[in-house]
Amino acid sequence: MKRSLANFIEELKRAEKRSKNSFVKLDSNFYKEVINELEELQVRAKQYFDEGNLERVGEITDELNRAKKAFEDLVDLRIRKLLKGVISPTVKTKNLTKEEMQLYTDIKSLISEFRDSVIHGAPPHKSEVIVEEPAVVERAPEEADESTTKKDIKEERYVLVRVLAPKVRVVLPSGKILALRKEDVLHIPEKIYNILIKRDKVEKINLS
C-alpha cells in the first residue's frame, strides 16, 4: 500500500520541530518530489470525479488538503530556522537542500552587503559585479590610415542566455549598472558570458 503523503510530511514536520538547532535531512529532490506527488493526487481526484466515484474523490481531496497544509508548515518551519541560522552560529546548516543553501547564501550576502554599505559606504558585493569591456573596439578616426579595413574592427560576439542566479549586476564602462534577475533571457557579450558561465550565473540557450 502506498504511503500517505500527508502522514509522511507530518512526520517530517514533527521531527523538524523537535530539532531546534539543526535541520532534518531531506532527499536532494524532496521539494520537487512533493510537488509531483501533489499534482498526481490532483490528477487522480479528477479521474475519480470523471468516473463518478465521489467517495474516492472525497478521500483523495482530504489527503491532498492535509498534505498541502503539512508541506506549507514544514517549509515555513525550515525558512524560520534558516533565517535564525543566518545570524546565529548555533544553528547547523549541514542538512540544507540545494535550494535552501542557495537561499541561505543569498540572504547572508545581502545582509553583508547592506551592512557594509550603511556602515562603510562600500560598493556592491564584488562577487556579483562584472565589469564589461566595450562591445566594439575600433581605431579612432584620426588614427586611421589607408590600410584600415573592416578586419581592423573587432566585433564582440553576443550569446543568448537565461539567468540562473537570483540576481546578477553588470557594471558597464559608462558606470551604468545592468540589473538581471533569475529567468531573464537576453543577449550578452561573449566576454561577459564566459565569466558568468564559470560562476553558474547563466546558461546558454541554443536555438534550433
Clarify whether residues 83 and 147 are in a common domain.
Answer: no
pTM metric for this prediction = 0.57
Distance between CA 55 and CA 62 in Å, rounded?
11
Distance between CA 10 and CA 154 in Å, rounded?
61
Range of the domain at 21: 5-119
Average pLDDT on 78-87 reads 92
How many structural domains compose the chain? 2
CATH number at residue 138: 3.40.5.50
Q: What pLDDT band is residue 202 in, cutting at 50, 70 and 90?
A: confident
Clarify whether residues 152 and 49 are in a common domain.
Answer: no
| CA dist list (Å): 131 to 111, 170, 188 | 23, 6, 13
With H, G, I as helix, E, B as strand and everything else as coil, classify residue 120. Answer: coil
| CA dist list (Å): 106 to 24, 111, 136, 206 | 21, 9, 34, 28
Clarify whether residues 114 and 135 are in a common domain.
Answer: no
Q: Give residue-wise pLDDT tens across range 41-81.
A: 999 999 999 999 999 999 999 999 999 999 999 999 999 99
Q: Give residue-wise pLDDT tens across range 132-158.
A: 333 333 333 344 444 444 444 456 688
Clarify whether residues 90 and 136 are in a common domain.
Answer: no
* Boundary (domain end) residue, out of 94, 119, 144: 119
Clarify whether residues 130 and 111 are in a common domain.
Answer: no
